[in-house]
Amino acid sequence: MRQVGFLVDVSRCLGCRACEVACKNYFGLGETQRYRRVEAVEWQNKDGIGLFYLSLACNHCESPECFRVCPNRTYKKRRDGIVVHDAGRCDGCCLCVKACPYGAPQYDAATGKVDKCDLCVSRLEGGLRPVCEDACNNGALKVAFLDRIDEEGWVKSVPSLPNIKLTRPSVQFKPPVIRKQWLRRTEL
């Protein structure tokens, strides 16, 4: 099976949140909902502490916990690996919200249902890029078949990401580049 997923070049993300805003606007999400979110992450190494930004959405995992725990079978995994959610079958029990280690499923109090990023599957099928990728002016986000990545340097996890062994997320990262001038010394 060919797996579609996100490529996140952490070294290019500036934390502008354009991807987050574009997604929120495109899907008309409520005030507390965010299918994509950008978070500042501190990273410590031997020289000190650095900061990078991490843009995450649903990781369309190889072994999605949301799919496993949903009693109403609202989640489906397509042949291309994209995990889609049928909100019409959702009763708002939020088991998927609690089970997802990445916080991808989002409860909407207005509808009493859960929904999540679908990787803009309708746009992909129309030959367009997801709105988050389109909005990223710095090229930090891309969607690709993960088995066809030509460049080296992509990794499956970065600091602050939950353990990937359980769900095997379909996302790869270019790790942050921490330059000495960005570091805050950890000396007392």
pLDDT tens readout for residues 29-51:
988 899 999 999 987 767 667 78
The residue with tokens 């993300």 is: 13
Give the pLDDT of residue 182: 52
What does the DSSP 8-state code read for residue 121? Answer: H
Contact 148, 23 (CB under 8 A): no
The pLDDT, as a whole number, for residue 1 is: 58
- pLDDT in the model for residue 44: 74
Nearest to 107 by CA among 83, 79, 87, 125: 87
Give the range of the structural domain holding residue 142, as residue numbers without chain letter.
Answer: 4-182
The residues, any chain, with a CB within 8 Å of residue 117's CB and separated by 6 or more, are: 23, 35, 36, 57, 58, 104
Joined tokens for residue 117 = 């990023």
Whether the CB-CB separation of 13 and 52 falls below 8 Å is answered with yes
Nearest Cα to 117, choosing from 171, 68, 161, 156? 171
Q: What pLDDT score does 60 carry? A: 96
Domain count, the chain: 1
Question: For residue 14, is it within any domain?
Answer: yes
Asked if the structure places residue 188 within a domain, the reply is: no
CA–CA gap between residue 182 and residue 179 (Å, rounded): 5
* Nearest CA-CA partner of 142 in 102, 172, 122: 172
For residue 183, what pLDDT is reported?
52
On whether residue 187 sits in a domain, the answer given is no
Residue 109 belongs to some domain of the structure: yes
**How far apart are alpha carbons 23 and 135 in whole angstroms?**
9
pLDDT at 139 (0 to 100): 95
User: Residue 116 maps to which CATH number?
Assistant: 3.30.70.20
> What is the pLDDT at residue 42?
85
In this prediction, the residues of the chain whose per-residue pLDDT falls under 70 are: 1, 45, 47-48, 150, 178-188
pLDDT at 188: 41
Residue with tokens 């290019």: 12
